[in-house]
Chains A and B, each alone.
Chain A
Amino acid sequence: MPGTLTLGPPSLERKPSDMSRIRRNAVVGLALVAALALTSCTSGSDTGTTPDADATVTVGLVLEPTDLDIRRTSGAALEQVLIDNVYEGLVSRTATGEIVDTLASSHEVSEDGLTYTFTLNDGITFHSGNAATVDDVVWSLTGVKDDESLVDHGNFANVASIAAEGDDTVVITLTAPDSNFLWNLTGRGGLVFEEADDTDLSTGANGTGPFTLGEWRQGASISLDRFDDYWGDAAQVSEVVFEYIPDGTAGVNAIVAGDIDVLTPVDATLRSQVDAVDELSITEGKTTDKYTLAFNNQRAPLDDVRVREALRLAIDHEAVIAAIGGAGIEQGGPIPELDPGFEDLTDVRPFDPDRARELLAEAGQSDLDLTLTIPNVYSTTVSNILISQFADVGVTLTVDSVEFTVWLEDVYTNKDYDLSFVDHLEARDFGNWANPDYYFGYDNAEVQSLFQESIAATDPDEADALLAEAARIVAEDHAGDVVYNATALTAVADGITGFPTDSPNARLDLGELAVG
């Protein structure tokens, strides 16, 4: 496997010729030969503090979207690059999970939690050049409510009406309070599109964001260009290029060689190669990426809480995190630190193999065979550790490494599995534990009613407290195990500022990105 190669080069200093890391726009930016010759072209570092408005920044990412139609095609890879950069909603979320006004200049929620009133900013313009109006907002949101093939349609189940008032106000009324509604509007369901537009959204885009879609070269890159008629503060770089490099080693080689300016995420086991380069620095960001070992709660013997607890106690979470290069933190319950309702629940599952063996004996499962279904995009590090740690308590683990599509069919759709391991990166996705039809198969009436109460709560603090209570039950019931909450490592070249480092897998708002 190329990803596991750890051989290091004898010298990791970047070539002097690559000191000109930040390439000036397309003219020279793409000619590698030219870049080698232009050793004196050091933009940024010698221009003092003035940002270089003509700069192109090249960002290495791992997962490429399959299609650009953000209304219809799922996948974090699409939201990561397009939301906030190309498309915008009334509200959006910050990297640490707060909700902020975007196209709305302000919003107001009525006391009873049923009426949401948004006032629009002035001068919002689509990339097509047309003004964005309240009618476009109403049309976009109504589409999500009415068309079940659109992503996030389900989030609009409580919506009674979406209407314009005057020429700068949109009023949404709900049939029941929904403490998640504003958050949901920060996602795809809340994005604003132009009603009178015939852009093919599969390969093109027409939003209101600070960047227009430049070019999508499938299998290689997506570029964004600064939108000069942006209604807010203009982007500070002229172009951003996302290069898709699926292999972790190739990504690190690319940034070390100076082909790209930013790499996220950096494979933690290759971190030393980046650290060895003076002109690069690595930042650690928080994420909501929950690497989840799911138990099929519907299937014997995993329907027995003693078996589930035994499996969790058998895992040395600290050792797993060390093995993946340290890029993670322990998470005892279903809710990560960045999300509302978080509390430290690691004490419910201490590493205790002796107790695990006892529990298995009590459950009559001293000699247990289980199969772990894992998509082959994940490294084998975690599954190998699980095999040995489970073997230590008498559980024989067979690893079934499958394509992600097969995982979707067998595990997600048909729920035909014992154990599964995937990254659940969505923020605020606790609802999966309150949904007995989700592939976890976790059916607990108390958790479900607490979750519903938290949705219906009109006081945010109360909603958070109810979520925390439900999360504790899920943790104590050992419904599943978050093996670790990932820490995102982002490598950034000197001279680049404003690159978001928290939750980079979910959103990359590049409005503040600058070179200089």
Chain B
Amino acid sequence: MIRFLATRLVLLLVGLLIASALIFFTLRVLPGDVAQVIAGTQSTPEQVAAIREQLGLDVPLPVQYLDWVGGILRGDLGSSLITRTPVAEELAEKAAVTVPLALLSLVIALLIAVPFGVLAALRRNTASGTAFAVTAQALAAVPVVWAGMMLVIVFAVWLGWLPPQGFPRSGWDDPAAAIRSLILPALTIGVVEGAVLLRFVRSATLEAIGQDYVRTAAATGLTRRRALITHGLPNVALSVVSVLALQVAGLLVGAVIVEQLFTLPGVGRMLVSDVGNRDLEKVQGAVFLFTAIVLVIGALVDVLARVLDPRQRETT
């Protein structure tokens, strides 16, 4: 186990290093220049050059890269080229919107996927089971933007139950208002992601139903359903957990779109406008942090899988 952990840690660090180089140099391929954005359309080329120099953009790229990596090693993700606000500070502020949004979406997705996925599998040969499967198939194909617009029209504009856009200025000081403003965005992501996840749960459950150990458990006198729930579902959980890790990336992408759609001041909306302004130092800091989160979660899931699944412990 210790050797496994050590290998996994080294892999993680190598992954982070490669990611940092990819992020830094790919962003530099983008046309456009933050100095020109700051200077605007009434400026002279001399003014733009002066601003570039002030921002340190005239330094060779490899030197800029090493400076940045050095900063990360000291725990400094960099700061915005425009406002000079530290990236970490702004991310923390925006995370107060995006993290609850992602968690709420995840909860909604799981609430849809797990019960209905298992039900769809148990009733696979009945009309209701087929209905679940078909509905999930259809929902999974719905574009997030369209789903969001429909939810806004029905629940915000027609019924007036929830705000159509925005996040309260009081933030989490007023939790009720904050949560109300996140419900429609979270539903938008959650329903679509939940439908995707439902299909995984359904097929994993179907697979478990056919397994020998479920049949054996049933043979000991348990009902088939009871056998599945006590012996089959832990195995279903295993595959769902690993899919969930992949879904975290999906949730972040969903957040980018949904924050635009609902005008939520979260990480996704910040990134979109930073890329637009070519505030590359801020973009690379934020993107690196996300990459790190996804890589770390991936590593944790691997470790968790070994804990949950005794077979994996024996093979390596």
Closest B residue to A64 by CB, please name it: B273
Quick check: A30 and B82 within 8 Å, CB to CB?
no
Quick check: A426 and B31 within 8 Å, CB to CB?
no
Quick check: B263 and A250 within 8 Å, CB to CB?
yes
Least CB distance from B154 to A in Å reads 9
In chain A between 373 and 414, which residues have their CB closer than 8 angstroms to a CB of chain B? 403-406, 408-410, 412-413
Residues of chain B lying within 8 A (CB to CB) of residue A66: 37-38, 82-83, 273, 277, 279
Least CB distance from A382 to B in Å reads 19
Closest B residue to A414 by CB, please name it: B31
In chain A between 214 and 231, which residues have their CB closer than 8 angstroms to a CB of chain B? 215, 217-221, 223
CA distance A410 to B32 in the complex (A): 8
The verdict on A408 contacting B36 (CB below 8 Å), with A32-B177, A66-B82, A219-B270 known, is yes
Query: Does residue A257 face the partner (Cβ distance < 8 Å to B)?
Result: yes
Q: Which of B39, B156, B174 is in CB contact (< 8 Å) with A253? A: B156
Quick check: A250 and B261 within 8 Å, CB to CB?
yes
Q: Which of B42, B46, B262, B278 is in CB contact (< 8 Å) with A151? A: B42
Closest A residue to B84 by CB, please name it: A202
Quick check: B166 and A202 within 8 Å, CB to CB?
no
Residues of chain A lying within 8 A (CB to CB) of residue B169: 30, 215, 217, 220-221, 223, 241
In chain B between 150 and 184, which residues have their CB closer than 8 angstroms to a CB of chain A? 152-153, 156-158, 160, 163-170, 174, 176-177, 180-181
Quick check: B157 and A256 within 8 Å, CB to CB?
yes
Say which one of B47-55, B126-134, B200-208, B238-246 lies at the interface with A. Answer: B47-55
Residues of chain A lying within 8 A (CB to CB) of residue B167: 220
The verdict on A257 contacting B149 (CB below 8 Å), with A202-B83, A218-B265, A408-B37 known, is no
Q: Which of B47, B165, B176 is in CB contact (< 8 Å) with A148? A: B47
Q: Which of B45, B158, B261, B279 is in CB contact (< 8 Å) with A11? A: B158
The verdict on A253 contacting B165 (CB below 8 Å), with A31-B176, A409-B31 known, is yes
Query: Does residue B223 face the partner (Cβ distance < 8 Å to A)?
Result: no
CA distance A412 to B48 in the complex (A): 12
The verdict on A409 contacting B41 (CB below 8 Å), with A250-B165, A259-B165 known, is no
In this complex, the member of B82, B165, B261, B270 whose beta carbon has the largest number of chain A beta carbons within 10 angstroms is: B165
Closest B residue to A203 by CB, please name it: B83
In this complex, the member of A2, A149, A247, A403 whose beta carbon has the largest number of chain B beta carbons within 10 angstroms is: A149
Say which one of A71-79, A306-314, A463-471 lies at the interface with B. Answer: A71-79
Query: Does residue B269 face the partner (Cβ distance < 8 Å to A)?
Result: yes
Quick check: A404 and B176 within 8 Å, CB to CB?
no
Query: Does residue B229 face the partner (Cβ distance < 8 Å to A)?
Result: no
CA distance A410 to B33 in the complex (A): 11
CA distance A513 to B51 in the complex (A): 37
Quick check: B160 and A246 within 8 Å, CB to CB?
no
A-side interface residues, number (CB < 8 Å): 60
Query: Does residue A300 face the partner (Cβ distance < 8 Å to B)?
Result: no
Quick check: B32 and A74 within 8 Å, CB to CB?
no
Quick check: B44 and A154 within 8 Å, CB to CB?
yes
CA distance A239 to B115 in the complex (A): 49
The verdict on A245 contacting B44 (CB below 8 Å), with A31-B176, A203-B83, A219-B269 known, is no
Q: Which of A31, A73, A151 is in CB contact (< 8 Å) with B174? A: A31
In chain A between 229 and 262, which residues have their CB closer than 8 angstroms to a CB of chain B? 241, 243-247, 249-250, 253-254, 256-257, 259
Residues of chain A lying within 8 A (CB to CB) of residue B85: 202-203, 218
CA distance A223 to B170 in the complex (A): 12
Scan A16-30; emit 1 where CB is below 8 A from any B CB, else 0. 000000000010001
Least CB distance from A114 to B in Å reads 25
Residues of chain B lying within 8 A (CB to CB) of residue A405: 31-33, 36-37, 276-278
Query: Does residue B40 face the partner (Cβ distance < 8 Å to A)?
Result: yes
CA distance A30 to B44 in the complex (A): 44
Quick check: B36 and A75 within 8 Å, CB to CB?
no
In this complex, the member of A151, A215, A219, A244 whose beta carbon has the largest number of chain B beta carbons within 10 angstroms is: A219
Quick check: B166 and A2 within 8 Å, CB to CB?
no
The verdict on A413 contacting B165 (CB below 8 Å), with A2-B145, A7-B153, A74-B39 known, is no
In this complex, the member of B42, B50, B180, B262 whose beta carbon has the largest number of chain A beta carbons within 10 angstroms is: B42
Closest B residue to A258 by CB, please name it: B160
Quick check: A31 and B170 within 8 Å, CB to CB?
yes
CA distance A68 to B85 in the complex (A): 12
Closest B residue to A215 by CB, please name it: B169
Quick check: A149 and B158 within 8 Å, CB to CB?
no
Least CB distance from A205 to B in Å reads 13
Residues of chain B lying within 8 A (CB to CB) of residue A404: 276
Query: Does residue B43 face the partner (Cβ distance < 8 Å to A)?
Result: yes
